[in-house]
Chains A and B, each alone.
With several copies, the nearest count.
Chain A
Amino acid sequence: MSPRTTPCKLLTIICEAQLENDLVDDLQRLHATGYTIADVRGRGACGVRDAAWPPSASIRVEVLCDERTAGNIVDHLERRYYAHYAMVLFLGDVAVLRSGKFTS
Chain B
Amino acid sequence: MPFEPVILFFLLGLTAGIARSDLKIPGVLYESLSIFLLLAIGLKGGIELARHPVATLLPQALAVLATAAAIPLVAFPLLRRFGGLGRADAASIAAHYGSVSVVTFAVAAAWLAGRGIEAEGHLIVFLVLLEFPALMIGVLLARGAGNGTPWGRVLHEVFAGKSIVLLVGGLLIGWAAGPQGIQPLDRLFIDLFKGVLALFLLEMGLVAAGRLGDLRRAGPFLAGFAIGMPLAAGVLGALTGTLLGLSVGGATLLATLYASASYIAAPAAMRIAVPEANPALSIGAALGITFPFNLLLGVPAYHWLAGSLEGAFR
B276 close to A84 (CB less than 8 A): yes
B6 at the interface (CB under 8 A from A): no
Partner of B271, one of A47, A50, A53, A55: A55
Q: Determine the chain A residues whose CB is within 8 A of the CB of B20 once the complex forms.
A: 21
B22 close to A52 (CB less than 8 A): no
B238 at the interface (CB under 8 A from A): no
A77 at the interface (CB under 8 A from B): no
B30 close to A52 (CB less than 8 A): yes
Q: Determine the chain A residues whose CB is within 8 A of the CB of B271 once the complex forms.
A: 16, 18, 55
Q: Determine the chain B residues whose CB is within 8 A of the CB of A50 once the complex forms.
A: 210
In whole angstroms, how far apart are the Cα atoms of A16 and B275 in the complex? 12
Instruction: Please name the residue on chain A nearest to B24 by beta carbon.
Output: A52
* Interfacial residues of chain A within 45-59, with CB under 8 A of chain B in the complex: 47-48, 50-57
* Interfacial residues of chain A within 1-53, with CB under 8 A of chain B in the complex: 16, 18, 21-22, 39, 47-48, 50-53
Q: How many A-B pairs fall under 8 Å by CB? A: 43
In whole angstroms, how far apart are the Cα atoms of A16 and B27 in the complex? 14
A53 close to B207 (CB less than 8 A): yes
Instruction: Please name the residue on chain A nearest to B283 by beta carbon.
Output: A55
B31 at the interface (CB under 8 A from A): yes
Q: B interface, by DSSP: helix, strand, loop or mixed?
A: helix
The 8 A CB mask of B197-216 against A (1 = contact, 0 = none) is 00000010011001001100
Instruction: Please name the residue on chain B nearest to A48 by beta carbon.
Output: B210
Interface size on B, residues (CB 8 A): 22
In whole angstroms, how far apart are the Cα atoms of A91 and B224 in the complex? 45
Once A16-B271, A18-B271, A84-B275 are accepted as A-B contacts, the answer to whether A51 and B283 lie under 8 Å apart by CB is no
The 8 A CB mask of B262-285 against A (1 = contact, 0 = none) is 000001100110011001100100
A52 close to B206 (CB less than 8 A): yes
B22 close to A57 (CB less than 8 A): no
A57 close to B27 (CB less than 8 A): yes
B276 close to A52 (CB less than 8 A): no
The 10 A-B residue pairs with the shortest CB-CB distance, nearest first, are A84-B275, A55-B267, A51-B27, A53-B207, A52-B207, A53-B30, A18-B271, A84-B276, A55-B279, A57-B27
Beyond the given pairs A21-B20, A39-B27, 14 more chain A to chain B contacts, judged by CB atoms under 8 angstroms and listed by A's residue number, are A18-B268, A22-B272, A50-B210, A52-B25, A52-B27, A52-B207, A53-B27, A53-B30, A54-B267, A54-B268, A55-B279, A55-B283, A81-B275, A85-B275
